[in-house]
Amino acid sequence: MAPSLAGSVELTFDDGPDPVWTPAVLAALSGSSLRATFFVIAPRAAAHPQLLAAIKAGGHAIELHCHEHVRHTDVDRAAIEEDTERALSTLASLGVHPHRWRTPYGARAPWTEEIAAMHDLELCGWDVDSHDWRGDAAEAMLASVGPELRAGAVVLLHDGLGPGAQRQGCEETVRFTRMIAAESEAGCDGPDRVSDGSLAAPGRVGLPPAG
C-alpha cells in the first residue's frame, strides 16, 4: 500500500477513477499526511487520464483492479489472463505500471495467484470493509467499523460506482474519508478511546497501536 503515518489506517479505493468522486476523495485527503491507494478499472482510467495525474500529484498510489469487473470464480482462467493483460497494457500506455492487484470483489480462483506471479503483481485484500457501496451515512459506517480500525489496518472504500452498488453517488465515502483524514492529523490522544481501543462514539476515530 501507499505509505501512511504511524498510528493511521491505510485507505484504499476501488472502481475508479470517477470524474466526480475521485477529485472529491482527493480533496478530502488533501491537507492530511495520509497517502491512499487507488485500484483502478483500466477503461475508466483511460477515459480520465487527468485523474491519474491528480492521484499521482497528491502522492497516492495507482494499482490494478481490472479491465472488466467480473469475479474470477465466475469465469475461466483464459478470460482473466486476457482481462489482466488488457488492463496492464492500457495502464502502461498511460504511464502506470502497477505492482499490486486487488481482484474484483476480492474473489480469487485457484489460478489467480499464478496469473499474479506471471505479471509480478502482489495480490492485496483488506482488513476493514466499509460496505460503502450500500450508501450508508458516514457516521453509520464509522460506528460499524470503528472497533476494527487499528493502526495499519487496510480499509476498503470505493471512489466509483461498481456493479451492485446500491447508491447513486459516493458522497458518504467522501465524508468518511474526510473524518479519517482529520483524525489522523489530530492524533488519537484523548478521552474518546475506550479501554479495548474501540470507538467511544461515532465522529471520532481512536486508532490504538497495531498488535
Q: Which residues are catalytic?
A: 14, 158
Q: What are the angstrom distances between the C-alpha of 150 and each of 8, 37, 155, 196, 206?
A: 7, 18, 10, 11, 8
Nine-digit cell string for 200:
467511544
Rounded CA-CA distance 52/129 in Å is 24
Give the angle subtended at the CA of 41 by the CAs of 2 and 152, to the nearest 5°.
25
Nearest to 102 by CA among 75, 135, 127, 131: 127
